[in-house]
Amino acid sequence: MKNIISKYQVNFSATLLVAIFFLSFSSCKTSQKEVSTVKKGELTAKDKMNFDYLFFNANKEKILGNFDLAETYFIQALKIDQNNAAALYEVANIYSFQKEKTKALVFSKKAASIEPTNVWYQLLYADCLKQNKQNAEVAAVYEKIVHNNPDKIDYYYELATAYMVANKPNDALKVYEKIDNHFGITEESCMSKLSIYKSLNNFDKALEQVQKLIKTFPKESKYYGMLGELYQSKGLNDKAFQAYSDLLKLDPTNAFVHLSLADYYRNQKQNDKAFNEIKIAFNSKDLDVDTKIKILLSYYSITETYKELKPDADTLCQILVNVHPDEAKAFAMFGDFLIRDKKLEEARVQYRKAIALDKEKYALWEQLMYIDSELNDMLSIEKESKEAIELFPNQPVPYLYNGDICIRLKKYKEAVEVLTEGKEFVINNKLILTRFYSLIGDAQNYLKNNEASDQAFDKALEVDPNNVTVLNNYAYYLSLRKVNLEKAESMSKRSNELEPNNNSYQDTYGWILFQSNKFDDAKVWVGKAIENGGKGNGTLLEHYGDVLFKLGEVENALKYWMDAKKAGGASELIDKKIGDKKTY
């Protein structure tokens, strides 16, 4: 079939070309007799043939997806016949597709005005008006479409929608009444009118629509629920309760009615009854897990303020996982509540159950690794971050967790390898990228690869020049090696400006001053660190003792060294310092 069509197209195009060739040479000038036979506004035979050739090729290119070339052919055709509605319509379609809204509107309007009864031209014109936000004009076009197509219900709905967009709700209501009269009562029409009457605060008319729905569809349970909610909104609680009771008679297993009853009892300040209705709904498998999670999310927010409701939330979480044991999201939801309440061990149990059901959900793994980290469970972090890397090799965070834990487990080479690999997957996240370089710097430092360590920290500061952790650690490592002390002092000073009163940063600055033989200043800053929460920190106490020794306060230094040994965390030389009463 393809070959036949292709042959036809070639022959047709060739015929047109030959015809145009002969026409152009056999009648370069139309005779006086020929002119007299062509009526005003009509095309000559030559123009018609040229138009047909261009129109045919335009459509061919459009079908092939060559829209720019198709547009060119259509525009050339319109130069021959500027009032050809079909060509105008096609050009408007192309402009609409290309998001050239203004041009599309111009051409679609002209096509629609030339052939006002062509529904496709009118629909495109209406769509172009929508794109140009000319809402009043959209309604006017659909009025014509409905008038010319009175048996097409979809056009009535479009007209009603156009009136609503143009902020003419009363006109929209009239259209819906026409739908009811012409096509019979439909759910869509009644629901639309109900929504409009609610927005207009017209309770009686809204009630009339719900009652009409119940009368038309007496076995549809949801309308009884809507009736109850409408009565509740007006404070007609007895009637609301009756509507819910009717619904339960009609559909005893309907879970949603129990949610409606819960609202009813809550409005009546009968909280125990309200919660009991929610529990009934949660115990129903007919109520989907997503709806239950939405309800629990509201509990998550409200229990931040009303702590007494936390047991209720826990109960609903337990029901959720019992009723939906195959839904990973149910266990994850329970886990989130437990994390919020600092019950990390229990939360981890729930997240591991969620992962067992759906290990392809990356968010579950990231939450699990967070819990492992908070519990300081290094072996679990190492194991589960490796599993996450295998499942999600393009996600950088598992590499970060794994690299960090490798450093803490003193597997420094492994740390460098995994962190170097993982940082390549960071996209537009300066915080994470800085963390990668910082950890690489730490690992290389422990491996005594000082140049590689410095390069990593320099890259971290290129990404985030004011990262206080990087500034502090980099400065401290330089001070330990007694190199680039001016740079170290500058970075440490900056970290204390960015985050004052951090005893670790204060100690680093003091230690750098010590290494630079600025002992009086060092005493001030290490002293600040001790007073600012460092009295039980062996490292800080030992540093202070070292400073005092350099200032000639030997007995005072000895006291701080002894305190450092008692506190724990001092250097391996602490006993030698105490025994010899001198620094090393």
What was the pLDDT predicted at 43? Answer: 84
Q: DSSP character for 212?
A: H
pTM of structure: 0.66
Place of tokens 């306060």: 553
Q: Which structure tokens are listed for 312?
A: 């209720």
Which of 548, 494, 491 has the alpha carbon at shortest distance from 519?
A: 548
Q: DSSP character for 115?
A: S
Residue 271, pLDDT above cutoff 70:
yes
Q: What percent of the chain has pLDDT over 70?
A: 93
Minimum mean pLDDT range among 130-134, 252-256, 494-498, 518-522: 252-256
Distance, in Å, from the CA atom of 529 to the CA atom of 298, rounded to the nearest integer, reads 44
Q: What is the dihedral of CA 51, 57, 61, 63, to 10 degrees?
A: 90
Q: Which structure tokens are listed for 306?
A: 């009303």
pLDDT per residue over 17-73, tens digit each?
Answer: 333 333 333 333 333 333 344 445 688 999 899 999 999 999 998 999 899 999 999
What was the pLDDT predicted at 172? Answer: 94
Residue 208, pLDDT above cutoff 70:
yes
Residue 394, pLDDT above cutoff 90:
yes
What was the pLDDT predicted at 126? Answer: 94
Distance, in Å, from the CA atom of 381 to the CA atom of 369, rounded to the nearest integer, reads 6
Summarize the confidence of residues 350-378 as an average pLDDT.
97
What was the pLDDT predicted at 20? Answer: 35
Minimum mean pLDDT range among 122-131, 300-309, 575-584: 300-309
Residue 518: CB partners within 8 Å, gap ≥ 6? none
Q: Which structure tokens are listed for 165?
A: 């967009």
Distance, in Å, from the CA atom of 315 to the CA atom of 452, rounded to the nearest integer, reads 54
Residue 194, pLDDT above cutoff 70:
yes
Cβ count near 503 (within 10 Å):
18
First to last CA, the chain: 95
pLDDT per residue over 143-179, tens digit each?
Answer: 999 999 999 999 999 999 999 999 999 999 999 999 9
- Is residue 346 within 8 A of residue 334, CB to CB? The reply is no
Number of H helices, E strands in the chain: 33, 0
Report the chain's mean pLDDT, rounded to a whole number: 89
Q: DSSP character for 185?
A: -
Q: Which structure tokens are listed for 61?
A: 């290119």
Summarize the confidence of residues 428-446 as an average pLDDT.
97
Summarize the confidence of residues 1-22 as an average pLDDT.
35
pLDDT per residue over 548-565, tens digit each?
Answer: 999 999 999 999 999 999
Residue 110, pLDDT above cutoff 50:
yes
